Amino acid sequence: MPSSSSTVLILPHSADFFTVDRVAAAIRRRGRTFFRFDTDRFPAQARLSDRLGPEGSSALIADEGRRREARDVRAVWARRVWEPALAADLDPSFREAARRESRAALAAAWDAFRDAGWIDRMDLVARAGDKLLQLRLAREAGLEIPRTLLTNDPEEARAFFRERNGRVVAKMLTPLTQGMDGAGAFVYTSRVTEADLAEADGLRHSPMLFQEEIPKERELRVVAVRDELFAGAVDARHTAAGAVDWRRSTPEECRWERGAVPEDCARSLRRVLGELGLAFGVFDLIHTPDGRHVFLELNPGGEWGMLERDLDLGIADALARALCED
């Protein structure tokens, strides 16, 4: 029977099952236990307590009658830390303060697990989410990147559009909102039009990221678990919705196939991951009609369930292996 000291703490949200269940099963096969703490159930349902004093410190997390102390946790998989869920009967005037305090409490509590191995540490994940930093590191690692402009200046946006002969896409630096399934009011990458430029004065309210549109043969999603890379490829060019961003296509319109990247590209991806201090990351690249591989971005908490479901690449096993390393 596995001891509690071999526990892997998993931090997902309560609607996240497929990938979490696959990793949890792989952890069990290695003789370890896991403890699932759904971060969106805190503070209304899930509990945490953190004690500090002259004699030291101790932390306890609990949910649905299950409890685990920080000292029993040997590894943490920060799958997807979610926004706190407040009780429905909480006075509206207190909700923002309660949400702010709950975020701060969660952030402080993770320090109690500092002796565990993390995939990945919260501060590293936050830094890795910087898209401009990613692009700089990718370029320095030898990867081709799109010409990019971040601006709140309408004239700069119009000039960039002209320089690229109108082949420009726009994206946000961060998701606008997230639903429980990771979708919700998601803002997709979209093609910029002349009509959009007529409304470019709206940039004074919020800057936007613009990139040259890269011609594509296929789009690649490459999952990195330490030095292991797992690649899936999709061709959404023939779909009206997915021609610019494959995520707008339906599963029936485009299907995942096994993909691959050249060894020099693989080395560069590993270098970017290492520069960011991460053990896990999901890279998006474009494979162009003339055979180039162009780096788009790295998502430190990116989705890979569809690759595991459709292609059985062994990503869950690789994650469990990394989490259970001695």
Mean of the pLDDT values across residues 189-211?
82
Give yes or no for a contact between 25 and 36, defined as CB atoms under 8 angstroms apart. no
CATH 3.40.50 domain extents, the chain: 4-119
Put residue 182 in one of left, alpha, beta given phi > 0 → left and psi -120 to 50 → alpha.
Answer: left
Give yes or no for a contact between 149 and 160, defined as CB atoms under 8 angstroms apart. yes
Give 149 or 250, the one with higher predicted confidence. Answer: 149
CATH code of 147-213, in short, is 3.30.1490
Peptide bond into 50 cis (omega under 30): no
* Tens-digit pLDDT profile for residues 27-52: 999 999 999 999 999 999 999 999 98
Secondary structure element (H or E) that encloses residue 280, with its range = strand 280-287
Q: Token pair for residue 154? A: 């309408």
- The amino acid present at 153, given as its one-letter code, is D
Question: Which of 112-116, 202-206, 269-273 is the least confident region?
Answer: 202-206
**For the chain, how many residues are written?**
326
Q: Which CATH number fits domain 122-146+214-326: 3.20.10.10, 3.40.50.2300, 3.40.50.720, 3.30.470.20?
A: 3.30.470.20
CA distances from 207 to 93, 128, 311 (A): 31, 20, 38
Dist. CA 9–CA 34, nearest whole Å: 6
Dist. CA 176–CA 189, nearest whole Å: 12
pLDDT value at position 191? 83
Mean pLDDT of the chain: 88
3-state secondary structure of 31: coil
Dist. CA 23–CA 325, nearest whole Å: 14
Provide the β-strand partners of residue 75. Answer: 8, 117
Q: Residue 216: pLDDT above 80?
A: yes
Give yes or no for a contact between 47 and 22, defined as CB atoms under 8 angstroms apart. no
Dist. CA 13–CA 39, nearest whole Å: 6
Dist. CA 140–CA 265, nearest whole Å: 12
Q: Per-residue confidence at 208, pLDDT binned at 50, 70, 90?
A: confident
From the CA atom positions of the chain, what is the Rg in Å? 21
CB atoms within 10 A of CB 294: 20
> Which residue, chain included where needed, has tokens 């692009």?
135
Q: Residue 181: pLDDT above 70?
A: no
Give 273 or 171, the one with higher predicted confidence. Answer: 273
CATH 3.30.470.20 domain extents, the chain: 122-146+214-326
Give yes or no for a contact between 294 and 144, defined as CB atoms under 8 angstroms apart. yes
Peptide bond into 43 cis (omega under 30): yes
**Topology at the third CATH level for domain 4-119:** Rossmann fold (3.40.50)
Q: Give percent of the chain above pLDDT 70.
A: 89
